[in-house]
């Protein structure tokens, strides 16, 4: 679920206010996040195990850090839009 959320958020960020286009899938920002999700899923599916479930803990940590970073970026974008809107109202 988290990897899907990451890829969806990356696509949403690349899309911005434009209509969705196939060419957006080649955007480097999207490809980095997509690559992370693919790599995490690949590691999840491997047969090697680490003691104390460390493979799953590490994957969860990396994924949550990436997801929280995306959320933080979205919150920053909302704040900037609110500031622009407030500035337009006072002008």
Strands in the chain per DSSP E:
none
21 DSSP 8-state letter: -
The domain in which residue 9 lies consists of 2-90
Q: How many domains does the chain have?
A: 1
pLDDT at residue 91 above 80?
no
pTM for the full model?
A: 0.80
Asked whether the beta carbons of 38 and 7 are under 8 A apart, the reply is: no
Confidence of residue 17 (pLDDT cuts 50, 70, 90): confident
**Closest listed residue to residue 2, CA positions, set 33, 28, 30, 25:** 33
């Amino acid at each position: 679920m988290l990897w899907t959320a990451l890829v969806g958020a990356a696509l949403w960020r690349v899309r911005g206010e434009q209509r969705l286009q196939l060419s957006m899938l080649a955007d480097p920002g999207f490809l980095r996040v997509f690559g992370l999700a693919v790599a995490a899923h690949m590691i999840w599916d491997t047969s090697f195990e680490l003691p104390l479930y460390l493979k799953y803990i590490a994957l969860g940590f990396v994924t949550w850090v990436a997801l929280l970073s995306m959320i933080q970026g979205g919150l920053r974008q909302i704040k900037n839009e609110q500031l622009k809107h407030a500035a337009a109202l006072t002008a």
